Amino acid sequence: MARVNSPKELEGLRQQILSERDPNKPCIAICAGIGCLACGAAKVVTVFKQEVEKQGLKLDVDIKETGCPGFCERGPIVVIYPEEICYLQVQPEDVPEIISQTIKEKKVIDRLLYIDPTTGEKSTYESEIPFYKNQHRLLIGQNIKIDPRSIDDYIALGGYKALAKALCAMTPEQVMEEVDKANLRGRGGGGFPAGAKWKTTRDAPGEPKYVIVNADEGDPGAFMDRSLLEGNPHSVIEGLVIGAYAIGSHEGFVYVRQEYPLAVENINIAIKQAGEYGLLGKNILGSGFDFVIDVHRGAGAFVSGESSALMTAIEGRVGEPRPKYIRTAVSGVWDKPSNLNNVETWANVPLIIDRGADWFRSIGTEGSKGTKIFSLVGKVNNTGLVEVPMGVTLRSIIYDIGGGIPGGKKFKAVQTGGPSGGMIPEQYLDASVDFDELTKLDSMMGSGGMIVMDEDTCVVDVARYFIDFLCDESCGKCVPCREGLKHMREILNDIVGGRGKQGDIELLEGLSRVMKKASLCALGQTAPNPVLTTINYFRDEYEAHIEEKRCPALVCKELISYHIDPDKCKACMICGRECPVSAISGGKGLIHIIDQEKCTRCGTCFDVCPTRFRAVKKISGEPVPAPVPEAERVLVRGNK
């Protein structure tokens, strides 16, 4: 690769890349994000390559493995260019037909298209699918067009143009002004204005200064940063270099969790390629500005995503937070001024520089500008990544984009903000989603996790889940967090285990108050939120667990029982065979009975009972009906 020495040469390179590409040449883009890989995308790619060769089209068709476009629910996703036909859930056996029909004959294969479950209408193009149609995809929209391992793909789409503009046509102050004016707020959850943070680091005494990408996406249920880093790593690098220029930093870090092996791989490749073009290293684009990036892998600790903890991890020490009387922007890595922003925040920077702060400000709400990516998961039809302008309502995200709740079930709550956020009930579905509105509901927007729960989800169980998670992840340095979480876990375990007692709810509230006020870092300060919001919005469910020993959602193992309805049992023996503890008696023609003493409430019988019988019943808070007397157990065929 030849080094690019000026913005002019960069533009020349872009033109050259474009001229070597025929826009009318068919290109098969296959999502190779982790989600689609888990659905078998790797096999699909291999078969496409073999089939293209077999049908003699090797030189006439490009095959591209791209980043994640977001519709993980329907993976593996394949888009055929130039027509942009979008096929979903493509299996290896569909490949020969796609080549012979769509590539050769230009015919669309109907059964691979998106079919609207309510109207039955088919969508040929990505832009027609309701999941995509209602989004505003500035950041993840390009993922399906880019092979993340090809810098040329990124440059062809105008990549690094913003960097050239910043380095060669703007002063660091002007770049800073632009980002400040855009009111770009931190996408990691804090919502702190990036411009103000950058200024603090720039003005802080001490050299060198560091800039850091926080890709330690630890919130369970969130994968926005993974898809950006995996799918479009150059956009993050470009943003980081621009920020470094504004701040006056010459060394940066990408801190990425090792649970994302593909992200680690792709960012390393991207850094290497950018270095070869001279977009990293000495005298970038002939501007005289030098900058290098080092990748650090996180080793599996949620608390290390906290800024001060992350910085000590970069130093090679245990990633624990410290009190932040002095901000990390002033004293961070090796006590030097260090500016840390989230992956998504950095990825927004090139857009702001390229299109201007005024354009960016035209998207979103008064206090929150731009778009936000959410990971819409849980009990919702269209799970995946969703990018919308700030200010869209929860209802619009869950119903218009997410397609509502599966199986005709009722919506119960949506959990936002990860373990630091809260659960928002149905009456607030029309709340708009931005940094400030969700905080008013005692939750937060957080980094973008959005977990939808239906009537079959027990909120007390979910609150316990989060406390359990945080209890494991608390570093133990400060007492309120370490001990507070431990005791909250015990109380919640008692409640879901049927041992709850009067006063437990008040005790949880009391512990929460202390933790919020006295914990060292945000992990402990926000840890009580899932408990407090569930007590606030679903107090009756806590009371049902404590007073009636009943789990209204029929989830908590110790509070439920299974029994077989003798009127519905057809003595098919499936449940008896599958029961892992042999708790079900009965044979052919003999109505089955669950031995309540032996039953471990694993739910296997409930799952395997054929839906046309639905004989296994789940109950809570009421006694199990007496088993059918021996004399009546014999099933007379045709009678029942």
Partner 1 sequence: MEPVKVDEIIDKYPAQSSVLIQLLLDIQGEFSWIPREAIQCVSERLNIPLSQIYRVASFYKAMSLTPRGRHVVNVCLGTACHVRGATRIIDKVEDSLGIKTGETTEDMQFTLQRVNCLGCCALGPVMLVDKDYHGKMTPAKVAAVLKDYD
Q: Does 318 bind partner 1 (CB under 8 A)?
A: yes
- Candidates 305, 418, 422, 484; binder of partner 1 (CB under 8 A) is 418
What single-letter amino acid sits at 43?
K
Neighbours of 464 (CB within 10 A): 25
Cα distances (angstroms) measured from residue 78 to each of 135, 156, 232, 382, 542: 19, 21, 17, 17, 46
Q: Does 598 bind partner 1 (CB under 8 A)?
A: no
Q: Does 235 bind partner 1 (CB under 8 A)?
A: no
Q: How far apart are CA 47 and CA 65, in angstroms?
A: 13
Q: Does 226 bind partner 1 (CB under 8 A)?
A: yes
Q: What angle do CA 357, 363, 367 make, to 5 degrees?
A: 85
- Candidates 457, 474, 519, 526; binder of partner 1 (CB under 8 A) is 457
CB of 80 to partner 1, least distance (A): 23
**For partner 1, which stretch binds (CB under 8 A), given 72-80, 167-175, 521-529, 538-546?**
72-80
CB of 286 to partner 1, least distance (A): 29
Binding mask 600-629 for partner 1 (x = CB under 8 A): --xxx--xx---------------------
Binding mask 431-450 for partner 1 (x = CB under 8 A): ------------------x-
Q: How far apart are CA 228 and CA 138, in angstroms?
A: 12
Smaller CB separation from partner 1, 234 or 296: 296
Q: How far apart are CA 80 and CA 48, in angstroms?
A: 12
Query: Tokens for 124?
Result: 């040929």
Q: Does 30 bind partner 1 (CB under 8 A)?
A: no
- Candidates 26, 378, 389, 391; binder of partner 1 (CB under 8 A) is 378
- Candidates 377, 390, 521, 593; binder of partner 1 (CB under 8 A) is 377
In sequence order, the 6+-apart residues with CB closer than 8 A to the CB of 458 are: 496, 541, 551, 552, 553, 554, 555, 556
Smaller CB separation from partner 1, 190 or 418: 418
- Candidates 27, 30, 34, 496; binder of partner 1 (CB under 8 A) is 34
**For partner 1, which stretch binds (CB under 8 A), given 35-43, 76-84, 98-106, 192-200?**
35-43
Q: Does 551 bind partner 1 (CB under 8 A)?
A: no
Query: Tokens for 246?
Result: 């504004």
**For partner 1, which stretch binds (CB under 8 A), given 119-127, 131-139, 218-226, 585-593?**
218-226
Smaller CB separation from partner 1, 7 or 69: 69
- DSSP-based helix, strand, coil % in the chain, nearest 5: 45, 15, 40
Where b means 16+ CB within 10 Å and e means fewer, 520-540 reads: bbbbbbbbbbbbbbbbebbee
CB of 60 to partner 1, least distance (A): 33
Binding mask 558-597 for partner 1 (x = CB under 8 A): --------------------x-x-----------------
Residues in the chain: 640
Q: Given CA atoms 191, 194, 199, 202 in this order, what sign does their dihedral have?
A: positive
- Candidates 258, 283, 362, 582; binder of partner 1 (CB under 8 A) is 258
What single-letter amino acid sits at 253?
F
DSSP string, 567-597: TT-----HHHHH-TT--EE--TTB--EE-TT
* Cis preceding linkage at 76, omega within 30: yes
CB of 352 to partner 1, least distance (A): 27
Residue whose token pair is 């910043």: 166
Q: How far apart are CA 91 and CA 316, in angstroms?
A: 44
Smaller CB separation from partner 1, 126 or 354: 126
CB of 69 to partner 1, least distance (A): 12
Whether the CB-CB separation of 331 and 337 falls below 8 Å is answered with yes
In sequence order, the 6+-apart residues with CB closer than 8 A to the CB of 54 are: none
Beta strand 62-66 pairing with 210-215: unpaired
CB of 399 to partner 1, least distance (A): 17
Q: Does 405 bind partner 1 (CB under 8 A)?
A: no
Q: Does 210 bind partner 1 (CB under 8 A)?
A: no
CB of 66 to partner 1, least distance (A): 17
- Candidates 254, 313, 390, 491; binder of partner 1 (CB under 8 A) is 313
Whether the CB-CB separation of 573 and 605 falls below 8 Å is answered with no
Give contact residues for partner 1 (rule: CB under 8 A). 34-35, 37-39, 72-73, 75, 217-223, 226, 258-261, 296-297, 299-302, 313-319, 375, 377-379, 383-384, 415, 418, 449, 451, 453, 457, 462, 465-466, 469, 473, 475, 578, 580, 602-604, 607-608
